[in-house]
Amino acid sequence: MRILIKDEYLDFEAPIQMTEEQREKFIRFMKSLFGDIKVVNVIEKTKEMGDREINPKKWTAEELSLLLTPMSNRELTVKLKRTEMSVKMMRGSFVPEFLVWAKEKGYSLPVRIETIKEFLEEREKE
């Protein structure tokens, strides 16, 4: 995050996302610094996605193995017949989690489908 400063003024570059705990801490801190602070609830603007029906397709171990290759998201979109957003989202959550798990287990890339199945089974048990 960027904190912007000009003369005697300070501001966030853009709104900051905070967990409830962080937010409470932040408000307490600001009150300790400035005393009177008014907290106002607002409705945030979101990116318009439009109305559409979403039918999530389950990811198979074979599909997940492709997420670990250097193939671009665009290439995977075509190969897997999924949207680019769904590829990005799955890559964003699956790959870091899998890499940490595989490293702990001492595996190396490229991994076999069985390894991904093992990962999925372990995660299911959790």
Partner 1 sequence: MKIFIGDRDGVDFDAPIKVNDKQKNNIIKFLKEMFKVVIVENTDSFRNDRIGDKFFMREWTTREYAVLLEIEDTNKVAEMLGRSWMSVNIKRGAFIPEFLTWTQNKGKDVLKDDTKKLIEEFMKEKQEEIISRRKKRKNIRQIEKEIEKLKDELENLNSEKRKRQIGLAIALGQLRNMTVEEFIQNKKKEINNKIFQLKEKLSKMKE
Binding residues for partner 1, rule: CB under 8 A, are: 1-6, 8-20, 22-23, 25-27, 29-30, 33-34, 36-47, 68-73, 85, 87-93, 95-97, 99-100, 102-103, 107-109
Q: Rounded CA gap, 34 and 28, in Å?
A: 10
Nearer to partner 1, 55 or 108 (CB): 108
Distances in Å between the Cα of 10 and the Cα atoms of 3, 50, 90, 98 are 7, 36, 38, 41
Distance in Å, CB of 43 to partner 1, minimum: 5
Q: Rounded CA gap, 106 and 124, in Å?
A: 21
Nearer to partner 1, 37 or 78 (CB): 37
